[in-house]
Amino acid sequence: MPAQPSKVLPDAECKCVHAVLAFEPSSHAAEVGYKQPSAVERIKSMSATHSGPNKRTVDTDAFNTPSPASFPASLVLPGDELAFDPDYESQSLRSWIKEKDRNELTDLRNVIYVVAPPEIDPEAQCAKAWASPQISKRGHSKAEMAPLPKVEDIIAYLGAFYTGLTVKPLPARYHFTAWDPSISKRSTQARARDLPRYIGLTTASSTVRIRTRHSQPAPFPHQLHLDDLLDALIEDLPADAYAILLLTAHDLYESDDDDFCMGRAYGGSRVAVVSMGRYAPELDEVQGVGEGLHWWPASHCAGFIREAVMREKAPAKKKVKRGVPKVVQAVIEGEERERKAKSPMEEAVSAYRMQYKEVKECDPEELRELWLSRVCRTASHELGHCFGMDHCVYYACNMQGTASLIEDGRQPPYLCPVDLAKLLYATGRATTEHYEALLAFCKQHPKNALFTAFEAWLSARMRELKE
């Protein structure tokens, strides 16, 4: 990597303090052809009509022009989703309203059901080992794995995120069972070719065949087919359900070319699946995702962005200026500019910097909290597709597409102004109701670095809306 001395360059031995924040796309964005929609385009994208806000939109706060220090642009670093597909089509509020497959909320269909990870029947015990990562040879112990996030905490978060809807557990418990009992009784240590190619998923209405495959590379020895799980949900959708979400501890795949898949939604069918397995903090080192020092909100650290571009970008066709992006804010303690309050992103970074711990420094409860925050962010994203929201290209946003676990950690938990306008249109709620519900949730998780940062961002954003 070419030498790039800088006082804000992250250093593994000396913790980066995120001295400068960048709110524009990285220099890599221009190289791959991504250009953030203009301010005028972004304002128009929040309108239900060509002329301006529509009466159906309850809260006009969603149409105030936001500061980049509140809603930064997408980073677009090497390997990010928008770096692979910089021309991805945008979805404005107006185009979302006109979407034929979008499902309306009704008085008779307004519940989000969450299905807990399926239990495993005795005759399918081989599936239990499939959900246990094989990392002991790398100096880790399975006993060190934090317990799965509590389903009730995930439900509470989604209830806050989708304010106005009832979010509750599906009454019926799902079970993994043997599809071919003669094969399933074999040892869990059997060779991959001897393990069952199918497993049964017993839902409230039927038992469905789920394809499986041996997983390469590790950490999980076997994977389940994502599309089969989604199809099972479609058949089991309750009459009053707006959407249904299945959580699983198992690793998933979608096609033969996939290494793995963290989640997926069939938006038009109102079903979603999220795998929690690879979000376990103890797997970060094994999966090469690094420490969380520069995950959201610290992902907007200018020094980190510059280093990421220099380290991994492909040879440029033309010289690109590598200075600090135009829109930056100093946040080093003692160097803040004189003003009454800091911006939402500055507040979030300050809170994150105070709360952040390396995984190896966390106790089991802190690890569970970290795991919870990762699952909540993906679960809210996948359910957003059930509301008809497409991947976002306007801002850094919870509805961005993601190409890796690393990018996943750099994305924010909030909805950008465009996608928030869609949610408010659908639910008839106000911005303040949405933010206050999330704020109340975050305050209940003081050991969670992401939720602590989100709490700071929410507080500062609500203060902006009152000014």
Locate 436 and state its tokens.
């206050």
E-strand stretches of 52-202: 111-115, 119-120, 166-169, 175-178, 198-202
Nearest to 216 by CA among 251, 268, 248: 251
> Is a pLDDT exceeding 50 seen at residue 167?
yes
- The reported pLDDT for the residue numbered 179 is 87
The predicted model gives 179-198 an average pLDDT of 61
User: What distance in Å separates the CA atoms of residue 154 and residue 446, rounded to the nearest whole number?
Assistant: 16
For tokens 């979008």, the residue is 102
Average the pLDDT over 306-310 and give the result. 93
Instruction: Report pLDDT digits (tens) over 108-117.
Output: 999 999 999 9
pTM of the model: 0.87
Mean pLDDT of 199-219: 89
Least confident of 105-109, 145-149, 329-333, 395-399: 329-333
Confidence bin at 181 (pLDDT 50/70/90)? low
Find out whether 215 and 129 touch, Cβ atoms under 8 Å: no
Mean of pLDDT values over 157-184: 89
**Tens of pLDDT along 420-430?**
999 999 999 99
Query: Any long-range contacts for 11-14 (C-beta under 8 Å, 24+ apart)?
Result: none
The token duo for 21 is 């924040």
Q: Is pLDDT of 314 > 70?
A: no
CA-wise closest residue to 233 among 270, 275, 261:
270
**Residue 331: pLDDT over 50:** no
Q: Are 395 and 71 in contact (CB under 8 A)?
A: yes
* H runs (alpha helix) in 209-290: 226-235, 284-287
Model confidence band, residue 103 (pLDDT cutoffs 50, 70, 90): very high
Mean pLDDT of 251-261: 88
pLDDT of 289 reads 83
- Reported as half-sphere exposure (CB side, CA atoms, 13 A), residue 234 has a value of 12
Please give the average per-residue pLDDT across 201-207, as a whole number. Answer: 93
What does the mean pLDDT of the chain come to? 85
pLDDT digits (tens, 9 = 90+) for 447-462: 999 999 999 999 999 9
DSSP 52: S
Sequence length of the chain is: 467
Q: What is the pLDDT of residues 67-92, one digit of tens each?
A: 999 999 999 999 999 999 999 999 99
Q: Which residue has the higher pLDDT, 373 or 186?
A: 373
- Which of these, 330, 343, 337, lies nearest to 302 by C-alpha position? 330
- 48, 94 in Cβ contact below 8 A? yes
Mean pLDDT, to the nearest integer, of 342-365?
A: 92
Q: Which residue has the higher pLDDT, 187 or 276?
A: 276
| Predicted pLDDT of residue 76 | 97
| Straight-line distance from the first to the last Cα atom of the chain, in angstroms, rounded to the nearest whole number | 46
H or E element at residue 358: none
Top-ranked range on mean pLDDT: pick from 5-14, 61-70, 171-180, 183-192: 171-180
Radius of gyration (C-alpha) of the chain in whole angstroms: 22
